[in-house]
Structure 1
Amino acid sequence: MRLDKGDGPDVRGAEDDTDGLDARLVLDRGAFRLDVRLSVPPGEVLALLGPNGAGKTTALRTLAGLAPLSGGHLRLDGRTLEEPAVRRRVPAEDRPVGVIFQDYLLFPHLTALDNVAFGPRCHGASKADARARAADLLDRMGLADHAGVKPRRLSGGQAQRVALARALATGPRLLLLDEPLAALDARARLDVRAELRRHLAAFEAVAVLVTHDPLDAMVLADRLVVIEHGRVVQEGTPAEIARRPRTDYIARLVGLNLYRGEAEGHTVRLGPELTVTATEELTGPAFVAFPPSAVTLSTDRPDSSARNTWRARICGLESHGDQIRVALTGSADELPLTADLTAVSVAELGLHEGAQVWATVKAAQTHAYPA
Structure 2
Amino acid sequence: MSLDKDHYNDAISVNSTLDSAASSVVVDSAGHAANQIAASTAVHDDQSKSSVRSSPSIKANVSDQLLDSDTLLRYKAGMVGLSESSVQPPKLAFLFMTRGRLPLAPFWERFFKGHEGFFSIYIHTAREFRYKPGDLPSAFEGAHIPSQDVHWGEISMVDAERRLLANALLDPGNSRFILVSESCVPLFNFTFVYKYLLASPEAYVRLKNEPGVNGRGRWRREFLPLVKLEDWRKGGQWFVVDREAARIIVADEIFYPLFKRFCRPPCYADEHYMPTMLKVLMQGNVANRTVTWTDWSKAGAAHPAQFGAGQVTEKLIARMRGPPSCRVGDEGVPCFLFARKLMPGALTELLQLADFMGM
TM (norm. structure 2) is: 0.24
Q: Give the structure with the higher percent strand.
A: 1
TM (norm. structure 1) is: 0.24
| Structure index of larger Rg | 1
Larger RCO (CA within 8 A; separation ≥ 6): 2
Q: Give the structure with the higher percent helix.
A: 2
